[in-house]
Structure 1
Amino acid sequence: VELLGEGLFGKVHLVRHVPTGHAFALKELRKARLEASRQQKNVINERRVLYAVRHPFVLRLYRTFRTDAKLFMLLELVQGGELFGVLAREGRLPVPWAQFYGSCVLSALDCLHGHGFVYRDLKPENVLIDADGYCKIVDFGFAKEVHSNRTFTVCGTPEYMAPEIVLGKGHNKGADFWALGVLLFEMVTGRTPFANEGDDQLKICHNIVTGKLSFPSVVMGEDGMAVTRQVVRALLNKSEVHRLGCGKRGAGEVKAHAFFDGIDWDVLIDKQLE
């Protein structure tokens, strides 16, 4: 019906199922470009994860098909824009907004982890807003099945990388909880915690490993900021062993934090929050 977007590897089209009129997003990928950039594995990863996981806050994949030159993925259509756009427009978000969006993301991560996957690419650009205002995480090219093992691939966006990724120590699901902490910080402050203006990637990585977490004074007096600082500090513990979410209860530890008081997780998943 129309072109929604175009990237290095292909295009995304808005398409309609003629008998029902239902709209979908059709991702069209050129095999030659994927092979030239060694991105085939990422596409296979994304397909495997999306077929395995069904969750209201994870983008749904309906089917895939191919021709000699192209791969196609028929996906759920989400047209509310990215969380990145919300942050660009608003500057920073009130704590209740951060709690709501953070709850959606945490619920999605909990589901992924329950299936043995680590996401490894959480950032505002990969969080879409649906027609009801809820979040959906997208782009699972870096996702990996780990269960209780560790993986050593360095991947993701530098500002969101956990220290254990930067140091090449191997990582697991704790890297996603670190990234959630970065996301919460960015939502309430308007910037990421370890990247200052003009910093290159090497400096950002150095800050992640050695820098101290501090909140800008402009947000310190806002309602709910005390408990927000607590949960962010707990998620951004440089020691994976002591990081919130890295205990036996996993995401349940994070859900039980006072920051998420008032969230009925079943009602959230049913998209019935008022």
Structure 2
Amino acid sequence: MGALCCRPTPVDFDGDVSLFHFVLLRCVGKGAFGKVRVVQHKQTRELYALKYINKAKCVKMKAVPNVIQERRLLEEVDHPFIVNLRYAFQDDENCFFVLDLMLGGDLRFHLERLGSLSEEVVRFYVAQLSSAVEFLHENGIMHRDIKPDNILLDEKGNAHLTDFNIAVHFSERRLTGVAGSMAYMAPEILVKRGYTCHIDWWSLGVCAYELIFGRRPFRGRTNSDLTYSITKDPLKWPEDAEKKCSRQGMQVIKGLLDRDTSKRFGCKPNGEGYQELRRHPWFKTIDWDTLESKEQIPPFVPDSKKANFDASHELEELLLEDNPLKAKQRKANQDNLTAEMRQMEEQFTSYDFKKMQRRSYYPHNQQLISTATGTSSGIASRPATPANDLRPDAGVTVNNSMELHSADLDSIRPEMNEKEYH
């Protein structure tokens, strides 16, 4: 009779999605209050990335609104060059995001390994990412943290934007709170006179410069030095710039890094800025009509025989984890929850892209109703930034950015007046 008690409970795939629906595979990333691992759906056999966030740590770090904000924003995002949400659910200990799997690694990983990337490769990424940025802006969303660490490649070499932890909706009212990774912040953020979605085009320009030349365009040893450089210093090119980048490429980078947002590439209203960027001669090799269908062959294909992420995460999971992740039945009694735990319980709602239509939680976006049609491809979260590397030039997320992918020590809670929670 004892053997009967040990039989696994059959999985109800017709019921609400839960961790019981997935096979847990290798751990590929670690963050401040969560981890990322590869999972396989038991019914469809599809591979995904599972990002899970410990609720108790989330409450301790005052990041509950961030997690709910990210969950809500991701439901209304569905684009070929974004790491899209496929499932969302929670148990008593964790909140779970099930996302498209990116097996090609992030651009920080490849940049550190290669030193720099060719102009041809970077042009392809900028084209793909500009498509994603324009999609976000059309839907009233600004990302606020575009950097190589948050750009993931699939196994074929297509670039995808990820990490919406500090993304927000925007309107005519400009934001003033400092958010993002300082080295990639637009000058209008740092001068604190108000900013809007134009900041994402600046960050894309910083990424393009860094990927081609292996260094950032604006640098400083201290926060004040870096702020001065971003807001005041002229854009300078390395001595060997013309060996690495054509004049047309430098024109695009310079256009993205224009401090005057009325002249910055991508910023003209009603999508004209994006169209202007597309028409630039630098992109003459890009077939924009087939770009989003991923029919074009990427110029760089990650090595599938190598791990395109820090393999130490899996070893740490095996040797050091005192509370390994496993599927658990939920407790029936939820009467003794704190206010923060109750907020997560009620507002981190379940989502299943096979059964539900994407929707917006924000009143001004209620016209959004889009059926999810994406397929999983493949993730490796980026290697965590070393905790002792907190120089302002190190690409660390600062101020009110709660970065999941790294254990950065200078993250603090966001300004609550910038977000909408219902």
TM-score w.r.t. length of structure 2: 0.62
Other-structure match for 1:215 = 237
Query: Is 1:226 equivalent to 2:247 in the alignment?
Result: yes
Measure the CA separation in 1 of the matches of 2:66 and 2:53.
Answer: 12
Q: Which has the higher helix share?
A: 1
- RMSD, aligned CA: 1.4
Query: Is 1:259 equivalent to 2:282 in the alignment?
Result: yes
What amino acid maps onto 2:226 in structure 1? I
What amino acid maps onto 1:218 in structure 2? D
Measure the CA separation in 1 of the matches of 2:140 and 2:81.
Answer: 17
* Maintained 8 Å contact 1:50/1:59: no
Measure the CA separation in 1 of the matches of 2:239 and 2:33.
Answer: 42
Q: What is the CA-CA distance between 1:5 and the residue it aligns to?
A: 2.0
What amino acid maps onto 1:200 in structure 2? T
Question: Which has more radius of gyration?
Answer: 2
* Maintained 8 Å contact 1:118/1:173: yes
Measure the CA separation in 2 of the matches of 1:78 and 1:186.
Answer: 22
Query: Is 1:189 equivalent to 2:210 in the alignment?
Result: no
Unaligned stretches of 5+ residues in structure 1: none
Q: Which structure would you say has the larger RCO, counting Cα contacts within 8 Å and 6 or more residues apart?
A: 2
Measure the CA separation in 2 of the matches of 1:50 and 1:251.
Answer: 23
Other-structure match for 2:73 = 49
Q: 1:230 to 1:174 in 2, by over 3 A?
A: same
* Maintained 8 Å contact 1:193/1:213: yes
- Of 15, 20, 33, 1:9 maps to 33
Measure the CA separation in 2 of the matches of 1:213 and 1:2.
Answer: 43
Other-structure match for 1:203 = 225
**Which stretch shows the higher mean deviation, 172-181 or 258-267?**
258-267
* Maintained 8 Å contact 1:117/1:147: no
Q: What is the CA-CA distance between 1:44 and the residue it aligns to?
A: 1.9
Partner of 1:259, secondary structure, is helix
What amino acid maps onto 1:31 in structure 2? K
Q: 1:148 to 1:267 in 2, by over 3 A?
A: farther
* Maintained 8 Å contact 1:14/1:25: yes
Partner of 2:226, secondary structure, is helix
Q: What is the CA-CA distance between 1:69 and the residue it aligns to?
A: 2.5
Q: What is the CA-CA distance between 1:15 and the residue it aligns to?
A: 1.3
Query: Is 1:246 equivalent to 2:267 in the alignment?
Result: yes
Measure the CA separation in 2 of the matches of 1:95 and 1:2.
Answer: 34
Q: What is the CA-CA distance between 1:258 and the residue it aligns to?
A: 2.1
Alignment of 1:23-172 (within 5 A): 23-172=47-196
Other-structure match for 1:174 = 198
Unaligned stretches of 5+ residues in structure 2: 1-24, 298-422
Partner of 1:220, secondary structure, is helix
* Maintained 8 Å contact 1:42/1:140: no
**Which stretch shows the higher mean deviation, 34-43 or 203-212?**
34-43
Q: What is the CA-CA distance between 1:271 and the residue it aligns to?
A: 0.5
Q: What is the CA-CA distance between 1:58 and the residue it aligns to?
A: 0.4
Task: Render the CA deviation track for 1:213-247: whole Å, top value 9, x for unaligned.
Answer: 1110112234x520111111111111122212221
